């Protein structure tokens, strides 16, 4: 069995599975009773930074930023997993 990852699988992971996983994580945290201010803390930080820059972003910017941050974490974990798996 080859240790090489097919690029199509990588793109499917990055463009489909990781964003869906991020949305599921946010939904699961809210369903389990975690306070929304804690769930959306990364997005609120981005929104606050944009406000400091003189912009007036809507609340949906905080939601999208939170999902984006979680997507980046899931994608980084998946890429690290593949890199580690390929070296052993």
The rounded distance, in Å, linking the Cα atoms of 12 and 28 is: 23
Helices 59-87 and 18-31, interaxial angle, to 10°?
120
Domain residue extents for the chain: 35-88
pTM over 0.85: no
Answer whether residue 1 shows pLDDT above 50: no
Answer whether residue 88 shows pLDDT above 70: no
The rounded distance, in Å, linking the Cα atoms of 38 and 14 is: 25
């Amino acid at each position: 069995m080859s240790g090489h990852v097919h690029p199509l699988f990588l793109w499917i992971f990055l463009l489909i599975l990781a964003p869906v996983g991020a949305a599921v994580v946010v939904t699961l945290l809210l369903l389990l009773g975690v306070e929304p201010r804690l769930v959306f803390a990364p997005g609120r930080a981005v929104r606050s930074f944009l406000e400091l820059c003189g912009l007036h972003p809507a609340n949906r910017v905080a939601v999208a930023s939170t999902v984006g941050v979680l997507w980046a974490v899931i994608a980084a974990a998946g890429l690290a997993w593949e890199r580690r798996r390929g070296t052993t």
